[in-house]
A and B are shown apart, each in its own frame.
Chain A
Amino acid sequence: MAKTVLDFEKPIVELEAKLEEMRKFSDNLDIEKEIVKIEEKVKILKENIYKELTRWQRVQLARHADRPYTLDYINLMTTNFIELHGDRHFKDDKAIVGGFANLDEHKVLIIGHQKGRDTKTNLYRNFGMPNPEGYRKALRLMKLAEKFNKPVITMLDTPGAFPGLEAEERGQAEAIARNLFEMSKLKVPIIVVIIGEGASGGALGLGVGDRILMLENCWYSVISPESCSSILWRSWEYKEQAAEALKLTAPDLLKQKIIDRIIPEPLGGAHKDHQEAAKMLKGVLKEELSQLIKIKPEKLVENRLEKFGSMGEFIE
């Protein structure tokens, strides 16, 4: 896998490279103590850097090119995954994937946005930006899950719904609206996990559920920091300020009571260790599922209505 290094990751990567080099020579030289010292230094450096990430740095981590995507998590967490394609009306949107799978003892439907790793796969996946048929495929599968009484897990990771001409012709707005409407009354448990970028309506189109979970280094908001900067500051240069103003990180959203729970990532981010990231996510999903499957469908829908009904702040 090609390694992408973000600016603030550089000091760590450099120190780690040095450590690696020293280890090679450690057989012939007496530098064991030296190595231990540097290992300690790397650990402290990491902890300091990742403890004090700015909101914009989190956005960068959420977009990290080596980060696990929906299909990575599916492969690492589940067995017997069968991908199901198409919306039965127009085509199969590659920016959203979905299918049934076993999550240990649970039989579930998993749906998520899917990005590509390189130019070729990104073009194939349209950079994770769905067209209306993607949302309609997702809804078709969710109705199947409801019919056969299987819980739904959705994974959000998109820079936004695709703003194209054909997307408008085929009703991008209606497709998203319909999903919000239908998901709010689906009679099976829905767990939503933000695993990367949660950009606006394009993310929310898969985002109505009973539990909203968010990986540690993700963002979720009404607009990307760049677009916000270009509209409110009339320049692309204020993305850092926009990210600060939008309060779009997992800790922010937990405080705003928009998400229920933050899922920790391996130190340095999910891209540092896909296995470990998937293991942590799987543990939480199983825990949440075992709670939700006990709740009666009517109660589930009632609670969901109340949950989203309580979001928002105003003065009367």
Chain B
Amino acid sequence: MAWFKRSKENISPNTLKKELPDGLWEKCPSCNEIIHKKQLETNLWTCQKCSYHFRIGSDEYIKILLDEGSFKEVNRKMRSADPLEFIDTKKYSSRINDTINKLGLYDAIRTGTGKLNKKDVAFGCMDFRFIGGSMGSVVGEKIARLTDTAFKNKIPLIVISASGGARMMEGAFSLMQMAKTSSRLARLSEAKIPYISIVTDPTTGGTTASYAMLGDINIAEPQALIGFAGPRVIRQTIGKDLPEGFQKSEFLLEHGFIDVIVPRKDMKETISNLITILD
């Protein structure tokens, strides 16, 4: 779960935003271009100068990928039960409550059904903003149920991952969500129903080591960080700096773990083509 540390290394758009007067401007973290929010939205939250893909949430992906108004969300209010009554420097239950109040999201994934170019799909999208997009019991259960929806209705499954990995505050329960989601995907696969995994920046740890890598087709957005261990841990282990582009989408494609890298503007058409061909 690397989101705690990473915020210091990569300056997030949120902190930069504050430096700009009216909150209508964003600075591209990659090339420093100042972009108006409206323009950014028109450009699907990518930089028009260097095509950097800004981190976005489920609202944005629903808009980008699904036909307008077609998304029917389920289990929206499912929330963590804090099964371990976990306390570190803060109570996990308070962390959950605060995040829910702040974001209006109940956990790190939203799931439901929708239409993609008029084709029915089971659709799930993670939100990295919710405790680093970490996977606990709620994320696991919602993905499991979504997979069952795809299974029962014989419609393709699409999951967008953005996650720091399994959620520490649910201990072994979080770990078991890897097995839970993977076993449901195995059943879906036996039924020959397509699963398209879309991996976005960043996706690491237990999420990568389960559903994110198990697509019939694994698609990545450009330049996304995708890995098992976080870069900081690897750097500590080997005691050396990591090579340029290590654990980026392009690196994974080169090593054979991603089928195709697709820019956001082409994502909907690409998925649409794939599910038509596989049907």
A interface list, Cβ under 8 A from B: 161-165, 167-174, 176-178, 180-182, 184-185, 200-201, 204-205, 207-208, 220-223, 228, 231-234, 238, 241-242, 245-248, 253, 256, 258, 304-305, 308-309, 311-316
Contacts of A242 in B (CB 8 A): 88
A181 touches B214 (CB 8 A): yes
For B180, give its contact among A232, A234, A309 (CB under 8 Å): A309
A171 touches B166 (CB 8 A): no
* B270 at interface, CB cutoff 8 A: no
Q: How far is the CA of A234 from the CA of B256 in the complex (A)?
A: 35
B29 → A minimal CB distance (Å): 23
Q: How far is the CA of A164 from the CA of B228 in the complex (A)?
A: 10
B186 touches A185 (CB 8 A): yes
* A209 to chain B: closest residue by CB: B179
Contacts of A163 in B (CB 8 A): 228-229, 233-234, 237
B92 → A minimal CB distance (Å): 9
Contacts of A182 in B (CB 8 A): 186
Main SS class of interface, B: helix
Contacts of A233 in B (CB 8 A): 88-89
Q: How far is the CA of A252 from the CA of B212 in the complex (A)?
A: 29
One digit per residue, 1 when the CB lies within 8 angstroms of any chain A CB and 0 when it does not, for chain B 156-194 equals 000000000011111111111111101111110110000
For B168, give its contact among A170, A174, A228 (CB under 8 Å): A228
Q: How far is the CA of A310 from the CA of B66 in the complex (A)?
A: 31
B176 touches A311 (CB 8 A): yes
A245 touches B166 (CB 8 A): no
Give the interface segment out of B32-40, B44-52, B55-63, B74-82.
B74-82
B240 → A minimal CB distance (Å): 8
A312 touches B206 (CB 8 A): no
* B213 at interface, CB cutoff 8 A: yes
Give the interface segment out of B16-24, B113-121, B136-144, B261-269.
B136-144
Q: List 30 A-B contacts (CB under 8 A).
A: A163-B229, A164-B238, A167-B228, A171-B257, A172-B209, A172-B228, A173-B257, A174-B209, A180-B179, A180-B182, A181-B183, A181-B185, A184-B183, A185-B187, A204-B178, A221-B175, A231-B1, A241-B88, A245-B171, A246-B172, A247-B171, A305-B184, A309-B183, A313-B83, A313-B170, A314-B78, A314-B137, A315-B81, A316-B75, A316-B77
B183 touches A245 (CB 8 A): no
A241 → B minimal CB distance (Å): 8
B83 touches A165 (CB 8 A): no
B233 → A minimal CB distance (Å): 5
* B222 at interface, CB cutoff 8 A: no
Contacts of B185 in A (CB 8 A): 181
Contacts of A241 in B (CB 8 A): 88
Contacts of B213 in A (CB 8 A): 171, 173-174, 177-178
* B99 at interface, CB cutoff 8 A: no
B181 → A minimal CB distance (Å): 8
A256 touches B186 (CB 8 A): no
Q: How far is the CA of A200 from the CA of B209 in the complex (A)?
A: 11
A222 touches B255 (CB 8 A): no
* A176 to chain B: closest residue by CB: B209
Contacts of A231 in B (CB 8 A): 1, 4-5, 168
B278 → A minimal CB distance (Å): 19
B230 → A minimal CB distance (Å): 8
* B149 at interface, CB cutoff 8 A: no
B176 touches A308 (CB 8 A): yes
Q: How far is the CA of A69 from the CA of B205 in the complex (A)?
A: 27
Q: How far is the CA of A233 from the CA of B87 in the complex (A)?
A: 11
For B78, give its contact among A207, A238, A258, A316 (CB under 8 Å): A316
* B84 to chain A: closest residue by CB: A247
Contacts of A314 in B (CB 8 A): 78-81, 137-138, 141
A201 touches B175 (CB 8 A): yes
Q: How far is the CA of A170 from the CA of B209 in the complex (A)?
A: 13
Sample of 10 further A-B pairs with CB below 8 A, known A168-B246, A222-B168, A248-B172: A177-B211, A185-B187, A222-B166, A222-B174, A246-B168, A308-B183, A311-B176, A312-B140, A313-B83, A314-B78
Contacts of B234 in A (CB 8 A): 163-165, 168
* B208 at interface, CB cutoff 8 A: yes
Contacts of B133 in A (CB 8 A): none
